[in-house]
Amino acid sequence: MMASNRILSLLSDVALLFPVFLLVFTFKGFFQALSAKLMGDDTAQQDGFLTLNPLAHIDIFGLTTTILVFFFVGGLLGDSLPRAILFILLITFGARWTVPVTIDDRNFKHYKLGGIITALSGSFGNFVLAAVAIACMKILLAFSLPKYAASTLFELLRTLIDLSIIFGVLDLIPLPPFDGGRVLRYALPESKQHIVAWLEEYSLFIVLVVFFLPGVSDLFFGCISSMSSLIKRGLFKLFF
């Protein structure tokens, strides 16, 4: 009975998180392609990434693998780790089910500026998505929906808002594999590029420390939570 309940719980989480992550990574990929286009590189557009069609941004094999690992690891851990955090960890540590946006920075009109803006555009896209979800939430409040429908839609929108912002903040971290690590590559002068190379070489160990070392992880997730809450409050003030 407990195993059946756990499976049903995992299925429920997948049903909720799947469309959320689909939207999060679609918006991220679209805004990266759009920013590259605006900066002078149309490679992503030519390769079909300048679209909000999820099929252009999602790797079906990677998605299937991620879901299978999610079920296996989620079943082992039970309720000791929140499902959304488990998904974030899987994606952070290499469970990729998105197609990387192809960008040729040699085509940028201004190399450094184009690189920085393109690197930051994924986070910006996530924040735009959160704003859209908040706007949808306000619109729904004007309708008298059945209780069960309203409850489901608001849970979906709340999850979308929270995870869009969290992923947007995480991607700002100036460390590979996050997009903030790409910002360093463009922002630092040639004489400091060895710092980027060092971070890329030891990024896995650094991420393991900040994610799991007691004390350090508490501080890290506390900062992520504080920044996310600040952005969330700011976005809600735009609509409420």
pLDDT, tens digit, for every residue of 66-83?
Answer: 766 666 665 555 555 555
The SS3 of residue 98 is: strand
| Mean of the per-residue pLDDT values of the chain | 85
Tell the burial category of 130 from Cβ atoms under 10 Å away from its Cβ (0-12, 13-18, 19+). Answer: buried
Q: What is the pTM of this model?
A: 0.87
Of 237, 74, 225, which Cα lies nearest the Cα of 162? 225
Tens digits of residue pLDDT in 100-157: 899 999 999 999 999 999 999 999 999 999 999 999 999 988 887 788 778 889 999 9
Q: Greater confidence, 146 or 12? A: 146
Is residue 53's pLDDT more than 60?
Answer: yes
Q: Where are the domains of the chain?
A: 2-239
The highest-confidence range among 62-66, 122-126, 217-221, by mean pLDDT, is: 122-126
Q: Average pLDDT of 28-43?
A: 97
- Structure-model confidence comparison of residues 132 and 177, the more confident one: 132
The secondary structure of residue 146, as a DSSP letter, is -
Contacts 24+ apart (CB under 8 A), 63-70: 63/97, 64/97, 65/95, 65/97, 66/90, 66/91, 66/95, 66/97, 67/14, 67/18, 69/95, 70/10, 70/14
